[in-house]
Amino acid sequence: MKSADWVRETPDGVSLDVKVIPRAGVTKVAGIREGRLLVRLAAAPVDGAANDALVAFLSEILKLPGRNIRVESGARSRIKQVRIAGTTVSQVSRVLSL
């Protein structure tokens, strides 16, 4: 898949289509699946812990403050849309090496 399939420019940054797999052994990017960035999360999907873990993980790997990252839709689903302010498609693709 091309990066354009799962990451798009927005006026203030990028929007990502993400599929998460909670309760994984380790938190990591696991490639692209079904046109979405696949992220395995060690956190369980309880009381928003998986969403918080996703934001913290993306913040860490993209070297951006957590306040720049928010789950825009899919908070209670494995399929999410995430908005990230202060970055570009090329920066995200380079950091994720996809």
Residue 8 and residue 49: Cα distance in Å, rounded? 26
Decide: residue 38, CB within 10 A, 0-12 exposed, 13-18 middle, 19+ buried.
middle
CATH number at residue 60: 3.30.1200.10
81: containing domain: 3-96
What pLDDT digit, counting tens, does each position of 17-75 carry? 999 999 999 999 999 999 999 999 999 999 999 999 999 999 999 999 999 999 999 99
- Evaluate if pTM is beyond 0.95: no
Q: What is the total count of domains within the chain?
A: 1
